[in-house]
Amino acid sequence: MTHSPHDAGAAPQPVPPRCYLHPDRETYISCQRCGRPICPDCMRDASVGYQCPNCLREGAANVRQARTAGGGLIPGRPGVVTLSLIGINVVAYLVMMATGGLWQSPLWEWGVMLGDTGAFRLEDGSVVLMEGVADGAYWRMLTSAFLHASILHIAFNMYALYLFGPVLERYLGTARFLAAYVTSALAASVFVYWLSAPHQTTLGASGAIFALFGMALVVMYKQGQDVRGLLVLVAINAAITVLVPNISWQGHLGGFVTGVVLGAAFAYAPRARRNLVQYSAFAAVWLVAVGATVLRTLQLS
């Protein structure tokens, strides 16, 4: 007995593979890494063939990110922190000038560095009572670093920041550079808090700028660069600090010392323990700063 083709059972048709991320889509493409089927929307260019989004993310997570010489991530936009700091300083200066200027602006009254609470007579004869750090106005230790007394004052500081900031930012990375700047500004205020008269007002980014001088000096020396020009610059600024009245040598000294300490941690930390050394240096500076602030506050209280 013979069977016609219609009598024989038809062979089952293979089921096309479907994208594992989009089960409703048929595909004949597979991820080169995990082998799972992927549709055109899930295809990602890789070094060899295509990979699925999950494998591409896993591979990127396992790739060691490039680091700067100082240990930070290479900044995507070098100089962005420096320009942002300059912008904040300029805006703060314009706001202060537009709202009364030195001794008159509410921003000046609120943000200037002041050790102890005191009454101040303004140019118009009025008296204002300003709360100092010793009475809880701790924000002054940072806000004062973003206020300036004159156009020449802010111009010099911002020019120095523009010259040295991007160089150190590329060396340290954005996060380390910003942390070093803020830490140095705080440490400079701690020196002012201890070494200045309690009722003396202080403002300006000079403490942080001198910290940049100190960091650049150590880093350049470690890299074998000629530091004579920078030493001359530091010496000139030190002479101006001492000889010209109404300049806070206390803040300049505090900033420079802090910059040298942090610069040494950045430049000389062994590669294998770089993060530990640098984080420890930051922690040590902050602990000393906080401890010194508490002791000075107790003394003034």
Residues paired with 91 in a beta bridge: none
CA distance 193 to 251: 9
Structural element, H or E, at residue 151: helix 151-172
CA distance 272 to 176: 18
116 exposure class (CB count in 10 Å sphere: 0-12, 13-18, 19+)? buried
List 3, 206, 248, 301, catalytic entry: 206
Strands (E), the chain: 44-45, 50-51, 113-114, 118-121, 127-130, 201-202
Is residue 47 part of the annotated active site? The answer reads no
List 144, 153, 248, 252, catalytic entry: 252
Residues paired with 120 in a beta bridge: 128
CA distance 252 to 259: 10
Is residue 252 part of the annotated active site? The answer reads yes
Q: Which residues are catalytic?
A: 206, 252
